[in-house]
Amino acid sequence: MKSILSLGALMFALTFCGIGDRLKSLSGSGGTGSTNSSAPASAGAGSTEKPQLTPAQESIQASSSEVKWEQQAISWKLPAGWPKMEAMKESFNYGSPANGFLIASISVMASSFPSDISMDATYTSALEQLKQGKYETVRWMDIDGVRGVEWVEAMPEDKDGPRRHQWIAFRTYQGQNQQLNIMVSTKGSNFDKQRDTFAAIMYSMKIAKG
């Protein structure tokens, strides 16, 4: 019975966050903080920021507990009320409808895959979404020494629809060229309540390299 409930919660999270469609559309295409609408659309240009936590976000991290994605040597600090849903080799999911979801995925690319060009395209695409009013913020963000593109979606037209804080990057790990896709999400009407929590979770991430 417990496994059935867990599976149901997982399917709800994946459906709610639109993870399947997001991974297809964003594999070449994450953010709380300043906007970056005037930044150059080039991976070689534009400033890269590092997390600057507010006192509220620091307090959330301090009272949270570390959870580890053992298969990928990545960890986060999660508050109480964020139960484990799934931890597999290429996907990692925690959360609940009441608080939100942390959904992480790994896509293994060929060693010849042009990661820099892909990130360039991701940034350019995100800036276009920003211009169209679909994203609230877009910026290059370095989390634990890994440079990626981060954005926060704008409020959806349907306030019960999903709203995401998302970050996409690449790393080399155990000889693999991996794309990291990390998001924290809840329905639009709850997002502002969880904004600091989402930032605290995202910026607590520790990522193994090499």
The tally of domains found in the chain comes to 1
pLDDT of residue 8 exceeding 90, the answer is no
> 35 pLDDT band (50/70/90 cuts)?
very low
Distances, alpha carbon 104 to alpha carbons 17, 44, 45, 151, 160, in Å:
11, 26, 27, 15, 22
Q: What is the pLDDT of residue 45?
A: 54
Question: In the block, which residue shows the tokens 């997982």?
Answer: 10
Q: What is the pLDDT of residue 162?
A: 97
Q: What is the pLDDT of residue 210?
A: 87
* pTM for the whole structure: 0.82
d(CA 180, CA 107): 7
| Average pLDDT of the residues in 12-35 | 42
Token duo for residue 192: 């502002």
CATH code, domain with 142: 3.40.1000.10
d(CA 76, CA 65): 8
Its domain, for residue 31, covers 2-207
